[in-house]
Chain A
């Protein structure tokens, strides 16, 4: 079973508008962290934002916010005031507390294109 599911292969958004990228996760672990990364065409994975399983407040980081709904097991990324430079692939990922490697489990990604 997929542990991280990103159902939107591609998304378009108009410049200056907000966009939500969906992510659902599956784990029986009580302790876990959820992460979003941005991968521009250069390939580098850029860390954007993090949410811990015990955090009650939604994480925010500048124009990025994470809409964390624990009961639904969703951790959607919201980008406000989109910019042309936001065009990239976005990955949702999870680290589980019971993991003995600390590896990140990635979704398949969502390609976001910002239109001028």
Chain B
């Protein structure tokens, strides 16, 4: 069966510091990978998606970047964090972009920027 991992689970960082969040998927190959951010008490907003190694697309312009160095690894980064980067970050995978397939989510990383 497939599992998706994220770490760290929680992170408190000062403004201006760098960020690296990692997501890995097990039990499947060539998944579509997604990074979402959730503001407190709100729905999720797509940040980045990837259909393969080295292929990254950004949904909204922002202070963050993403990379996919391996088939089942997806990394979210920032060189200098802003207060507005605080939130709950969720990684997800799906088999493809078909509207008839589910997306499965990792446990999330709660980021607080002070």
Which A residues contact B (CB, under 8 angstroms)? 4, 29, 31-33, 35, 37, 42-47, 50, 52-53, 91, 93-97, 99-104, 106-109
Contact = CB atoms under 8 A, between A and B. Distances in A.
Given A44-B107, A106-B43, A95 B49 contact: no
Contacts of A44: 105-108
B102 A100 contact: no
Interface of B: 32, 34, 36, 41-46, 49, 57, 59, 88, 90, 92, 94, 96-108, 110
Contacts, number: 86
A109 B42 contact: yes
B110 A102 contact: no
Given A32-B99, A99-B99, 8 more contacts: A31-B100, A43-B110, A45-B44, A45-B108, A95-B99, A99-B97, A102-B32, A104-B92
A104 B103 contact: yes
Given A42-B107, A44-B108, A101-B46, A50 B102 contact: yes
Nearest to B45: A106
Contact of A96 (B43, B57, B92, B99): B99
B49 A103 contact: yes
Contacts of A35: 102-103
A103 B34 contact: yes
B94 A102 contact: yes
A106 B41 CA distance: 12
Q: Which of B43, B94, B103 has most A Cβ within 10 Å?
A: B43
B42 A108 contact: yes
B20 to A, nearest CB: 20
Contacts of A91: 43-44
Contacts of A31: 99-100
Contacts of A42: 107
B88 A43 contact: yes
B97 A52 contact: no
B97 A100 contact: yes
A108 B43 contact: yes
A33 B49 contact: no
B102 A107 contact: no
